[in-house]
Chain A
Amino acid sequence: MILDEAGLTALFITLKLAAVTTAVLLVIGTPLSWWLARSTWRLKFIPEAMVAMPLVLPPTVLGFYLLIALGPEGPIGRLFETLGLGSPAFTFTGLVIGSVIYSLPFVVQPLQRSFESVGTRPLEVAATLRASPVDRFFTVAVPMAWPGFLTAAVLGFAHTLGEFGVVLMIGGNIPGSTRVVSIAIYDHVEAIEYSQAHWLAGTLLVISFLILAVVYGLNRRFRPIRL
């Protein structure tokens, strides 16, 4: 047996968490980064700094505040209670919320850079060719910023795979629900089960390498997608 059942479960949860988080981040991050790229608001640096915070904060700090926010007395926890969803702390949903915040800069920053590199000119051209603002966004900005979307999705996914501190604080390490690979490895090492730790660590290593290799491979001969 290469990976025991608990290990496979942890791996599955990890991949699911990374996929869901990446999807949510692309949905939230696209309009946010578009706004950051296009806005001329003079206080824009404030939301920009906020987006970048998870880059510098220790994950435990982020996890601590999230734990409070997600708890029954916290604002997010209360919102969930009001909606009749139960407290998100120590649940998969809570992990997704934490991961979204933790990986936000890894998605927003590449998207913002690529929207910025599109510049205003192509959008002006589209405007003179009868395209409405929404039309311009989907038919000019998104296809031209496509490499940025790829980078953003991969960085968001890969960064969530490797998350440890935040999930430890808010996940509670519940097998089958919130126990991800990074924590499982830690547990195995604590219990001196080096063989199990090896298999899990090795799997994560290979997956991460493959994802990055594919992306760099694509980027090398990358051409903007054709509609």
Chain B
Amino acid sequence: MIKAGIKAIKGEFVVDADLEVPSIGITALIGPSGSGKTTILRTIAGLERHPGSCVSVGGSIWQDTNVFLPPHKRSMGFVFQEPSLFPHLTVRGNIAYGVKRLTSKECEMKVRRAAERLGLIDLLDRDPSTLSGGENQRVAIARALAVGPSLLLMDEPVSSLDAELKNEVLAYIDGLREELDIPIVYVSHSADEVARIADHLILLNNGRVTAHGPIRDVLTRLDLPLARGEDAEAIVEATVAGHDDEFGLSYLDFPGGRFTVPRGDMEDGQIVRLRVLARDVSLTLEEQKGTSILNIFEAVVEETADHGISQVTVRVSAKGVPLLARVTRKSASVLDLRPGRKVFAQAKSVAVLS
């Protein structure tokens, strides 16, 4: 568990945020630019010193009123927005830089293990200037991991990459989530990235924490800006249950039922993330027969909130899994969508994220 109370004053801008980061999984710090995300991350790392802040990681105190550990004494890895590889060192030299400073033993092994994780084994002897943007950032991640940190901090690590490279690097970060037993704090302003990889969200605005919790809860809380946007969405984790090769479909089970999606490159038993946009979900009182929509789930209305003058966002629970539906206010009134009402949620489109 990481506890941080960050108090920073930068001219007009004030950060006053208390956060608790679970000791496992990816916690995303998300908020508009200027909300204090990077300041918080840099203060946790000790790269910025703001007296009055306190940081403790897994019981060891990195900063409080009497203590300030300089960054090189903190057991963390940091990945910056730009890869910032050392140009005078090879890929191997970059990854080994921190390892050498900890121990000379098993250096090569640690370098190789970190390189393997990020798919860099064949690039070890290359010069950073010969790598692609995505490869550069993967080296930066391997370099941060090689020292065996007890916390990995990432400051918008994919925001300077184009869409394709972004997906490549995100896939590796997603993989780390499963392989590593250390917490990752991931700063981002992109809800899209966060939906793919984060387990927990901490929402920031104007230097303050406005909400925190597991991603599926924070995304579907109707009092928060995420569920109020045009792209309001729910994230569902589902297990691959099988495939239908005749129709080219895959079946994905979650507690509320079974999603049918176009056949993907997925193995049985694999856990995948699905994105269900609120605007793709409609609600009916009776189960529709003779519809082309395949994904229909029994659900109970939990909460509703007006969206503009003509629409309503509804959060329903499909056996405990929250989904969002955006319907017209007229429909909401006709169907009498109040908390406790039994409905059927039909999703006309679902995206597999991982």
User: Measuring CB to CB, which residues of chain A are less than 8 angstroms from any residue of chain B?
Assistant: 121-122, 124-132, 135, 139-140, 143-144, 146, 224-227
Residues on B with beta carbons closer than 8 Å to the beta carbon of A224: 87-88
The answer, among A122, A127, A140, A144, for a CB contact under 8 Å with B72, is A127
A76 to B101, CA, bound (A): 44
Residues on B with beta carbons closer than 8 Å to the beta carbon of A225: 88
- Can you name the residue of chain A whose Cβ is closest to the Cβ of B73? A130
Residues on B with beta carbons closer than 8 Å to the beta carbon of A131: 72, 97-98, 101
Considering the complex of A and B, which 5 residue pairs feature the smallest CB-CB distances, nearest first?
A129-B98, A128-B78, A127-B71, A224-B88, A130-B101
Whether A130 contacts B72 by the Cβ 8 Å rule is: yes
Q: For the complex, is B133 an interface residue (Cβ under 8 Å from A)?
A: no
Q: List 21 A-B contacts (CB under 8 A).
A: A121-B84, A122-B84, A122-B86, A124-B78, A125-B78, A125-B86, A127-B46, A127-B47, A128-B74, A128-B76, A129-B101, A130-B72, A130-B102, A130-B147, A131-B98, A143-B86, A224-B87, A225-B88, A226-B88, A226-B89, A226-B90
Whether A128 contacts B88 by the Cβ 8 Å rule is: no
A214 vs chain B, min Cβ distance (A): 21
B261 vs chain A, min Cβ distance (A): 40
Whether A144 contacts B88 by the Cβ 8 Å rule is: yes
User: Measuring CB to CB, which residues of chain B are less than 8 angstroms from any residue of chain A?
Assistant: 45-47, 70-74, 76-78, 80, 82, 84, 86-90, 93, 97-98, 101-102, 140, 143-144, 147
A124 to B153, CA, bound (A): 13
Whether A128 contacts B47 by the Cβ 8 Å rule is: yes
B237 vs chain A, min Cβ distance (A): 32
**A227-B93 CB under 8 A given contacts A130-B102, A130-B147, A143-B88:** yes
Whether A128 contacts B144 by the Cβ 8 Å rule is: yes
A90 to B98, CA, bound (A): 52
Whether A127 contacts B70 by the Cβ 8 Å rule is: yes
A129 vs chain B, min Cβ distance (A): 3
A135 to B71, CA, bound (A): 13
Residues on A with beta carbons closer than 8 Å to the beta carbon of B140: 125
Whether B72 contacts A227 by the Cβ 8 Å rule is: no
Whether B89 contacts A121 by the Cβ 8 Å rule is: no
A140 to B77, CA, bound (A): 18
Residues on B with beta carbons closer than 8 Å to the beta carbon of A125: 78, 80, 84, 86, 140
